[in-house]
Structure 1
Amino acid sequence: MRRSTIRVIAAVAAALPALAPGGAQARDQAVRSFDGTTLSTSFFPAAGLKPGERAPTVLQTHGWGLTRTTNPDATSNEDVGSVGVGVLRRAGYNVLTWDSRGFGQSGGTVTVDAPEFEGRDVMALVDWVAQQPEALLDGDGDPRVGMQGPSYAGGIELVAAGLDPRIDVIAPDIAWHSLTTALNRDGLAKFGWGAALLAVGTPTSLGLGLFSPYGPETGTLAPQLIRAAVDGATTGRFSPEVDAFLESRGPKDLVRRIRVPTLLTQGTADTLFTPSEAMRNYEILRDARVPVKMVWFCGGHGVCLTGNVPSVERAVLPWLARWLRRDASVDTGPRFEWVADDGQRRSAADFPLAAGPPLAAEGAGTVAITPVETLNGLVVVARPGLQGVRVPIPAVREETDVVGEPEVTVTYRATGLGTDDHVFGQLVDEVRGVVVGNQSTPIPVLLDGQGAHGHAAARGRRDARHPGEPLPLRARRRVEPLRDHARDRGRVRVAGARDAPDR
């Protein structure tokens, strides 16, 4: 593959101190990407690395709207799944952090991990790493490199691994497969998240670059992102232009080109990039016989209501030891691990789990559709609906793990002033009074007064059911992570049937 040509911008005095007396030096550096865009970076040699010694390197950028880590001793954040620079250095790795294109002190336009821009930026950074005296090389211009990081950082890992064969291992955290399925859920835009992402991304893309030590940078957001927020606010649906933009951003089809070991960590309380996104990537990589492992933890873009158990660092470090340091004696554990809603770790040899008897139930009732727009409190939390159709699911007789994508089928007759709308389904743990995984699922309905069927697959769940515990499905109108864009008024008479996979 043809490598991007880079030029190192005129020498800049190192802003970072030596990490240890007589040891290799940490340094800030501006690197020019394929199109001349400035990428602002910080390079941290592995702890204890002496002059003349070399080590594998981990590349790590940041989440949406944030900036690179500049603390050589940074610790891990288990709530979002970021492994700290200090943790990686002490494990024997150099770490290169950078401000992604358009954010922080880097220039350019934020194009949402586009292969032709952010993807090629990573290729330029790999070229730069190959020139560093601390970097272990597997060949001329081919450094031993891995990648780890959450959210926006996770997306670019999947993109870059599909583009550059010099990347040896990745551990993307709370990333996505398709922005179309992540942000435009069953035909309904996630306005709450769209507005939050716009609000968080604008200051760091427009402001911080003006104070770059390498000269003012006027980074900005792609105009389609502004349009997406406007579409979500006014209609609840994305325009064809925005749909096409989202379809072309991030990994999606590039996942099929990945051939390096991949650890997927995803948050079960994540209402932006749900476990379903990791499930798609996992299935593609497993079927391609790529070494892959998936870990679900209680965190991500959301609020963990059941108590998180540290899971990401303990999975990432063995994965890097096995595949980046190439220590064949390291055991990376079962292929699928998850933290259930009781706070206990579970594991399985593969995903999906072998199906047991279905947990099924039926119910009927009426859901009112009102013209009141509801964005109830935090956009990342789903609350149990007080009104709506309640479908009790029979209690299990023995300990049961419900893991996967529950399905709901609705037979309904709906009337209203408009032509179509949505109701929302959620699984509610009535013992604790919480929505399982903080997830609500939109179910499209036609307001034509005719009988019809609606179907939806809920986003990935992990629920530990104990004997005698009720777990009802509720069909309701109000929802938080998605904008409840009730443009019309009407009523929906529904009969719901829920079928959940279980172990």
Structure 2
Amino acid sequence: MRRPSLKALAATATAATATAAAAMLGTTALGLAPAALAAPPPSAATTALDQVDTYTGLHFTVPAGTDDQGRPQTCVIDADLYKPHHADAAHPVPAILTTNGFGGSKADQAGLGRAFAQRGYAVLSYTGLGFPDSGCKISLDDPGVDGVAASHLVTFLGGGGSAAYDSSDLAGTSGGAGTLAVDFTKLDDPATHDPRLGMIGGSYGGQIQFATAATDPRVDTLVPLITWNDLRYSLAPNNTAFTTGVTYADQTPGTEKVGWTGLFFGVGIADGIQGAAIDPARNVGCPNFVQEACLAKATLDTAGYPTTDTFRLTDRVSVGHYLDKVHIPVFLIQGENDTLFNLQEAVATYRGLKARKVPVTMAWQSWGHSGGAHGSSGAAPGELDLSGQQIEGTYLGQRIKDWFDHYLKGSAVGTGPEFAYFRDWVSYTGNAAPAYASASSYPVGSPKAWYLSGSGDLVSSRAAVAPGSVSWTNPGAGAFGSYSEVSGLEGQVPAGTLPPGTTAPFDTPGTFGAWTSAPLTTPATVVGVPTLDVRFSAPTVAATQSAGPAGQLQVFAKLYDVAPDGSKTLVNKLISPVRVGDVTRSVHIELPGIVHRVETGHRLQLVLAGSDAAYKNAYAVQPVTVTADPQAPAVLRIPLVG
């Protein structure tokens, strides 16, 4: 396959995503919302806490593995430090290291930095490599690059070396500039500059925690929010043929999330332009990304699926492929409303750590990369205030504080349930704790089976399955007949792209198959990952699938909640793309992990579509039939609680 040049790729990505990149940099980025993380003004809730000494513009030049040409490199890192005013060598405090989500900077953690410094932690917030005032290219949280760079910051927090700062805001002083050496952190081993240290951050700032812990055994605990397990699954998912976790077999690659990958590259290129004065080399060759990333993007855009070369990159930068190197307690927080890094990713990491007997806790919060109706961060009221103004007053804020107090201060405070999840149908005021259900572990509940019957029925008894079939085809030529969402571009779709007035998901008749249940007689609470075991009949595809992924069947599976008036809800607009390696065999599909209450009188509807607007679709026309077999019916299993 002929690949486009890196120059052509850069031009295409920049033109296609400039508007989205600008919007993302000003709002939510591929991480935590900068607007929500701005430094809070002093408030009555924090005046009784310790004062904070702030050092801004800390400048580090650190070794960071090799560049994309295999040459040893050093990188400039821009950082701020928040120190409890009363911390000193005689009164040392634990440390927290944090960095930004994709497209952000050190300023994004300013609120949390001050908040935790007020509560007895020294917090170093830095801008990740490839972003505004830090140098080198974006390496996608590579342990051998980003992890190595972060390790030098751990050494600094452990008293090794010093750093110049541009300005300071010290309690009782006018500030200025100078050089800072750390002698106020608790040390596990002075000889190795080993501080008592935890990490926190979201998305890109979540994965760096795993990369650092895998590189540096001095890190003591992690709190990663809304991050990935395997980037091959995140950016080109295939919800079948899993080998472990969410890692699928190489011979059945996934389907590109065109909205997310385009936005991802647009933001990264924009940051490279912004930071050209810091490191002009960022824009040489592949603009502000390691060359493998540009080649992977070119492959996805031309073929629509990743190849072995792509996997070499994504595997290297994904914790699912180096989980054996993570041995410290982890508090995973993942978003229910997230079409970039879905709940399955956190489940894969949770299960992998637990199987290795690593202490792990998991919470599913209301919001993720896909935002929400609750504000700039998407968090529900009383759930998590990333500005730091409400730590103890929010459910997850208190749990994060308790987690750090337990593992870094040695406090006897509990760390909460091993598994908790937000329920958006529960009314409450103030703290969001009443909306969270908890359990001693994941999964919860029991799977309930429904069977595909007749010409479109979903029945709850195997004996009720009747003969019949459902057929559909995709539009072909890469077009879409179904719309779920447009990922990071939600709300920014150009006029005329979708039918007038379209905001809700839809499926064009003839391009999907559907099976609908009878109205429920009691409410059903879904918590977890539904699965589908089904056999397809697709003779045209069977004749072409051996030629490779382009000839294999594409299916997009989803579960609707259908109200009595016929209106439909696609929970958080989540769907499961599938590429079927062999249509002559039964296929096991994971549908999106969700938390949802289906009310009495509502119906469940399983939809299998041939295409979706958020993904790269098949160019060949692929007629498909699912035949109901009373002797061996297709079965949908939905995890229900209560």
Name the residue aligned to 2:341. Answer: 273
Q: Mapping of 1:214-229 within 5 angstroms?
A: 218=282, 220-229=288-297
Please give the alpha-carbon distance, in whole angstroms, between the structure 2 residues aligned to 1:40 and 1:273.
Answer: 27
> Aligned-pair distance for 1:359?
4.5
> Aligned-pair distance for 1:253?
3.3
1:207 aligns to what SS in structure 2? helix
Taking a change above 3 Å as real, the CA distance of residues 308 and 29 of structure 1, as seen in their structure-2 partners, is closer
Name the residue aligned to 2:225. Answer: 173
Name the residue aligned to 1:252. Answer: 320
Letter in 1 for 2:276: L
Aligned partners of 2:338 and 2:371 also within 8 Å: yes
Taking a change above 3 Å as real, the CA distance of residues 361 and 469 of structure 1, as seen in their structure-2 partners, is farther
1:238 counterpart (288, 294, 306): 306
Name the residue aligned to 1:196. Answer: 263
2:557 counterpart (425, 432, 439): 425
Letter in 2 for 1:333: G
What 5-or-longer segments of structure 1 have no aligned partner?
1-15, 75-83
> Aligned-pair distance for 1:93?
1.6
Q: Mapping of 1:33-72 within 5 angstroms?
A: 33-34=62-63, 35-46=73-84, 49=87, 53-69=91-107, 72=110
Residues 1:287 and 2:363 are matched in the alignment: no
Aligned partners of 2:98 and 2:125 also within 8 Å: yes
> Aligned-pair distance for 1:305?
6.6
Aligned partners of 2:52 and 2:84 also within 8 Å: no
Name the residue aligned to 2:173. Answer: none
1:97 aligns to what SS in structure 2? strand
Name the residue aligned to 1:207. Answer: 273
Output one character per residue of 1:21-65: Cα deviation in whole Å (capped at 9) or x when no partner: 996452321112224221221111136647864321111111112
Taking a change above 3 Å as real, the CA distance of residues 386 and 91 of structure 1, as seen in their structure-2 partners, is farther
Q: Mapping of 1:226-375 within 5 angstroms?
A: 226-304=294-372, 308-309=379-380, 310-311=383-384, 312-328=396-412, 330-342=413-425, 344-362=435-453, 363=456, 364-370=469-475, 371-374=477-480
Name the residue aligned to 2:178. Answer: none
Aligned partners of 1:353 and 1:403 also within 8 Å: yes
2:637 counterpart (482, 485, 499): 499
> Aligned-pair distance for 1:372?
4.5
Please give the alpha-carbon distance, in whole angstroms, between the structure 2 residues aligned to 1:70 and 1:472.
Answer: 41
1:472 aligns to what SS in structure 2? strand
1:392 counterpart (516, 524, 527): 516
Say what the alpha-carbon RMSD is for the aligned residues. 2.9
Give the TM-score normalised by the residue count of structure 1. Answer: 0.85
Taking a change above 3 Å as real, the CA distance of residues 502 and 394 of structure 1, as seen in their structure-2 partners, is farther
Output one character per residue of 1:417-453: Cα deviation in whole Å (capped at 9) or x when no partner: 8632312111112236321232111233579xx8653
Residues 1:469 and 2:602 are matched in the alignment: yes
Please give the alpha-carbon distance, in whole angstroms, between the structure 2 residues aligned to 1:22 and 1:316.
Answer: 21
1:459 counterpart (581, 592, 603): 592
More off after superposition, 488-497 vs 101-110: 488-497
> Aligned-pair distance for 1:115?
1.3
Quote the sequence identity (%).
Answer: 23
Taking a change above 3 Å as real, the CA distance of residues 314 and 95 of structure 1, as seen in their structure-2 partners, is same
Q: In proportion to residue count, which structure has more helix?
A: 2
Taking a change above 3 Å as real, the CA distance of residues 27 and 367 of structure 1, as seen in their structure-2 partners, is same
Please give the alpha-carbon distance, in whole angstroms, between the structure 2 residues aligned to 1:130 and 1:280.
Answer: 32
Letter in 1 for 2:95: T
Aligned partners of 1:137 and 1:144 also within 8 Å: yes
Output one character per residue of 1:438-473: Cα deviation in whole Å (capped at 9) or x when no partner: 2111233579xx865333112322222333321211
Taking a change above 3 Å as real, the CA distance of residues 308 and 389 of structure 1, as seen in their structure-2 partners, is farther
Name the residue aligned to 1:7. Answer: none
Output one character per residue of 1:83-130: Cα deviation in whole Å (capped at 9) or x when no partner: x32332233222111111222212222211111111111111101111
What 5-or-longer segments of structure 2 have no aligned partner?
1-38, 64-72, 160-181, 239-253, 385-395, 427-434, 457-468, 491-503, 545-550, 628-633
Aligned partners of 2:237 and 2:578 also within 8 Å: no
Structure whose CA Rg is larger:
2
Please give the alpha-carbon distance, in whole angstroms, between the structure 2 residues aligned to 1:414 and 1:342.
Answer: 41
Please give the alpha-carbon distance, in whole angstroms, between the structure 2 residues aligned to 1:356 and 1:47.
Answer: 53
Aligned partners of 2:143 and 2:214 also within 8 Å: no
Name the residue aligned to 1:81. Answer: none
Give the TM-score normalised by the residue count of structure 2. Answer: 0.67
Name the residue aligned to 2:630. Answer: none
Name the residue aligned to 1:440. Answer: 575
Please give the alpha-carbon distance, in whole angstroms, between the structure 1 residues aligned to 2:217 and 2:581.
Answer: 48
